[in-house]
Structure 1
Amino acid sequence: MIRGKFITLEGGEGVGKTTNMKYVQQLLENTGRSVVVTREPGGTGMAEKIRDILLDRQSEGMTPVTELLLMFAARSQHIVHVIEPALQRGQWVLCDRFTDATFAYQGGGRGMDVETIAWLEQCVQGELRPDLTLLLDAPVATGMGRAQRRGDFDRFEQEQVEFFERVRQVYLQRARLNQRRFKIIDAAQSLDCVQKNIAEAIAVLS
């Protein structure tokens, strides 16, 4: 059986990942592909419980190390129980965030050591990497303005603007260093333009 493809959507707050996840899913299913849609942190029962802890604004003062390790603990469950089995069945996996988010949020945002994150990445994932990463990019002010209209912020969304500026810069840096895997999508454009660019990126992968 031909192994499926692994696509991730990345980006900061308010860039339209939820809307465009549904669009990518529809694009793939319209070509007859079986698609597994999932998210990080999360994707399994245990990983979703870890997600609740990570996003809870009432959690005791969580250290950056604890946050990083919880991210990879959830990811380990996710890979073993959802992502790898689906890919081996020939399904395409579409995931809202993956390890690039850890480099951006825990590395850029929290200032965690990049080499430590890379070591954990190798320990947990082995050779597993996305086949395509769609980076939805917009100025922080634009994204946060959209996010504010959604309602209450979670533990990450309530961080300061400087935090999200660092997150964005790390995302863009990773895209420059991994140009064969990343496709940067200007999420400040109209939704029609955004989705046209996404469709072009998916067509190349297909």
Structure 2
Amino acid sequence: MIIAIEGIDGAGKNTLTTAVVEVLRKSGQEVQTLAFPQYESSIPAQLASRALYGQMGDLTDSAYAMATLFALDRHAALEKLQRAATSSEVLLLDRYVASNAAYSVARTQEPDMADWIAELEFSLLGLPRPDLQVLLDTPVEVAADRAQRREALDSSRTRDVYESDADLQARTAEAYRRLAQSHWQGRWFSVVPGQQPDAVAADILRVLS
């Protein structure tokens, strides 16, 4: 089964993912993890990263082009995703297709862009739909402060053009909320900031059962 942890940059997805994995494993659940974009192994992700740091000319001007690169990055993991979709083992994802939908809607300010993303990734590229999508609904100001502190402490974590755009982050947070409220492409639940990981893990197990 596939569970995706979603949220804006600095929301705390990696921290929550790590903690939830530990709790699920203690409960006896087999868990694997995968984070998107796969910057270290995927050419499309690496091209997207270069674009986000101003190294690919005007590529970032096109929301459709960037969305396609991120979709192709996920397609590179298709075999692993398909195995997980038919397995009792949990594949816990740090970002999935909803990330592309939320950011693309926020960039274009066109709600129908989410449908275009779903057609591209789930239909054309054949990615499996997640069993559950968990929105870490961290306030934009809190997420921005975390991202700034992370950047200050680690020179390799310089914020890209998406991460440093406060207005984009705010629009993306709202787009995520709309996706979750409409149960876009499957089941969702939202995590209250500060909620303990064991409580989140219990919620996940309850929903999946």
**If the TM-score is normalised by the length of the shorter chain, which range does it land in?**
0.7 to 0.9
TM-score by length of 1: 0.83
Hey, what's the Cα distance between the residues in 2 that align with 1:97 and 1:51? 13
Hey, what's the Cα distance between the residues in 2 that align with 1:93 and 1:182? 16
User: Partner residue of 1:23?
Assistant: 19
Q: Say yes or no: does 1:182 pair with 2:188.
A: yes
**Structure-2 change in CA distance of 1:114 and 1:132 (3 Å):** closer
**Structure-2 change in CA distance of 1:43 and 1:106 (3 Å):** same
User: Partner residue of 1:125?
Assistant: 126
Show CA shifts across 1:12-60 (max 9, x none). Answer: 1211111111111112211223222001122883x3x322222230322
Structure 1 position 92, deviation (Å): 1.3
Aligned-residue CA RMSD (Å): 2.2
Query: Superposed, which structure 2 residues align to 1:78-117 within 5 Å?
Result: 78=77, 80-111=78-109, 113-117=113-117
Give the stretch that moved more between structures: 55-64 or 92-101: 55-64
**Structure-2 change in CA distance of 1:35 and 1:196 (3 Å):** closer
Structure 1 position 194, deviation (Å): 3.7
User: What secondary structure does 1:8 align onto?
Assistant: strand
Alignment check: 8 A CA contact 1:55 1:155 kept: no
**Structure-2 change in CA distance of 1:86 and 1:130 (3 Å):** closer
User: What secondary structure does 1:66 align onto?
Assistant: helix
Aligned-residue identity in percent: 25
Q: How many residues align?
A: 193
**Structure-2 change in CA distance of 1:168 and 1:30 (3 Å):** same
Structure 1 position 156, deviation (Å): 2.1
Alignment check: 8 A CA contact 1:43 1:82 kept: no
The one-letter code sitting in structure 2 at the alignment partner of 1:109 is: R
Partner of residue 170 from structure 1, selected from 168, 175, 182: 175
User: Partner residue of 2:136?
Assistant: 136
User: Partner residue of 1:54?
Assistant: 48
User: What secondary structure does 2:150 align onto?
Assistant: coil
Structure 1 position 66, deviation (Å): 1.4
Q: Which runs of 5+ in 1 are unaligned?
A: none
**Structure-2 change in CA distance of 1:203 and 1:88 (3 Å):** closer
Q: Which runs of 5+ in 2 are unaligned?
A: 152-157
**Structure-2 change in CA distance of 1:197 and 1:32 (3 Å):** closer
**Structure-2 change in CA distance of 1:77 and 1:44 (3 Å):** farther
User: What secondary structure does 1:37 align onto?
Assistant: strand
Alignment check: 8 A CA contact 2:63 2:107 kept: no
The one-letter code sitting in structure 1 at the alignment partner of 2:176 is: Y
User: Partner residue of 1:198?
Assistant: 200
Show CA shifts across 1:113-147 (max 9, x none). Answer: 33322321322236x21111110012211110111
Hey, what's the Cα distance between the residues in 2 that align with 1:132 and 1:86? 13
Show CA shifts across 1:51-86 (max 9, x none). Answer: 2222230322212221011111112121x2321123
